[in-house]
Amino acid sequence: MGSLWHGFADMGAVERDGAFVVARGEGAYIWDEGGTQYLDATGGLWFANVGHGRREIAEAVAAQLTQVAHYSNFGDLVSPVTRDLAERLSALAPVPGSKVFFTSGGSDGVDTAAKLARRYWQEMGRPEKTILVGRQKAYHGMHVGGTSLAGIPVNGEGYTGVFMPDTRTIEWDQAKALTALIEELGADRIAAFFAEPIIGAGGVYLPPEGYLTEVRKICRDNDILFVADEVVTGFGRIGGSWFASSRFGLEPDLMTTAKGLTSGYVPMGAVFIAPHIAEPFFSGGTWWRHGYTYGGHAGAAAAAMANLDIFERENLLDASKNLESLLHEHFSPLADHPRVAEVRSGLGAVAAVQLADPAEALPFVKTLRVHGVSTRAAGQGALQISPSFVITEAQVAEMADRFSRALG
């Protein structure tokens, strides 16, 4: 028996069938231990935006580690590269002048935003505003706060008690559901509303036309903080913009990011905090006793800086916008197959092939490997498609063809 306990896995099945070992990657491809090549349909896990095998990022990290690997960012401490990255990110923020709080990843970011939302209302003299609202199908990481906020019930099964009682879940696609909850509970009790612009791990669900703008207005009109969870959509995955919040003019009070920040080369996340939320904490005399040992890790910051350099030099935001249309063009015809219920695509550099029988999804992942594609199941019976932005049109077409052949 192996010693590694995999995340999100039936370990009995892994022990029985063996692990799929990814030995190396380059561009839009990965290879297993035996040297077999696969098109990487998931971009690692939504994150390999600049592609695999970027020596430039590895060299930037190595150079930083020879100077100082990391030093805590608590109190008044900071390393030059972390300071510079914060300034660079603030200049990209959908809300000008945003502050940047670094984390070790997306789950950290969601819990950071959850805590800060409540603490902000305390500082504003409104301690009764404690309830955090999420949506059905939504995924917000696997920390206690994120698990409670998410709309994927199976992720919370098997535990005694309630992780975080002051949370509510509403329909994912109806703005009026938020209005109804406000009428039920009272706006004076709700601290924040969390929304993925595109629901990711819950199955790749695109927002209905006008939905994001409408819920943003509802939050603004009712003095409820709007938290954009852009761990998936951030850093180009939305297609053509750095963030969905920029593309749709959402001006979030808080925005969580991770994954594409370093393209997955080193774990790192960043929470963007609008100036009016940060102001009570920057005016002096107020401590926010929160932080992570590796938040703003110098080596990770160096990876992020090199990653952003690649984005800008190679115009990868334009590439992601092109990928948005390519995925829709090449994958939407699969909706006509009798084993496919629908294909969700057309917004962002993402797509999902929804199988008619959700029970087929996990075995179909292995079938696709036989055809040279690596993907994963998401939501209830969906197959995730979120490749690197460096993928070519020919590779997208080949990937779709391999999906078609695997469907039979």
Per the structure block, which two tokens stand in for 387?
């490749």
Contact 88/348 with Cβ under 8 angstroms? Answer: no
Contact 327/351 with Cβ under 8 angstroms? Answer: yes
- Exposed, middle or buried by CB within 10 Å (0-12, 13-18, 19+), for 296? buried
Question: How does residue 279 score in pLDDT terms, banded at 50, 70 and 90?
Answer: very high
Question: pLDDT digit string (tens) for 337-385?
Answer: 999 999 999 999 999 999 999 999 999 999 999 999 999 999 999 999 9
Which of 39-43, 56-60, 161-165 is least confident? 161-165
Sorted by where each starts, the structural domains of the chain and their CATH numbers stand as 11-53+315-407 (3.90.1150.10), 56-314 (3.40.640.10)
**What amino acid occupies position 123?**
E
Residue whose structure tokens are 């829709």: 328
Question: How does residue 162 score in pLDDT terms, banded at 50, 70 and 90?
Answer: confident
The pLDDT mean for the chain works out to 97
Terminus-to-terminus CA distance in the chain, angstroms? 35
β-pairing, 131-135 vs 167-170, is parallel
β-pairing, 131-135 vs 190-195, is parallel
Question: pLDDT digit string (tens) for 102-129?
Answer: 999 999 999 999 999 999 999 999 999 9
